[in-house]
Structure 1
Amino acid sequence: MAVTAALGVVVVTGISRYLGAHVAARLAADDRVGRVVGLDPNEPTAEIQRLLGGVEQVRADAASVPTVVAELDAEVVVHLSLVTSPEPGGRAAMKEHNVIGTMQLLAACQQASHLRKLVMRSSTAAYGASFRDPAVFTEDTEPRQVPRGGFARDILDVEGYLRGFRRRRPEVSATVLRFAPFIGSTADTTLTRYFAQPLVPTVLGRDPRLQFLHVDDALEALHRSVVEDHPGTYNVAGAGVLALSQAIRRAGRLAVPVFEPGLSAAATLAGGLRLGRYGLDQLDLFVHGRVVDTTRLVEEYGFEPRTTAAAFDDFIRRHADRSLVTADQLATAERAILDGIRRVRATAAKESS
Structure 2
Amino acid sequence: MSYQRLSDRRVRIGMVGVGGHAYRNLLPALTFLPVELVAIADVDETLAHRTAAQYGVRHSYPTAAQMYANEDLDAVLICVSPQLHPGLAIEAFAAGLHVWMEKPAAPTVAEVDRMIEARGELLCTVGYKKVFMPAAVKVRELLASAALGEVRTILAQYPLSIPLGGEAAENSMWLANGCHPVSLLLSLAGPAASLTVHRAKDNAGALLIRHESGVLSNIHLSHGAPFGQPFERYTVFGDQATAEIDNTRRVTFQRGMPFDYAGTTSFVAEGLDSGAIVWEPQDSFNTLENRPEFTQGLHGGLRHFLDCVLKKRPPRLAHLEFARQVAAVHQAALLSDNQEVALTDLKDKA
TM-score normalized by structure 1?
0.38
TM-score normalized by structure 2?
0.39
Please identify which structure carries the higher helix content: 1
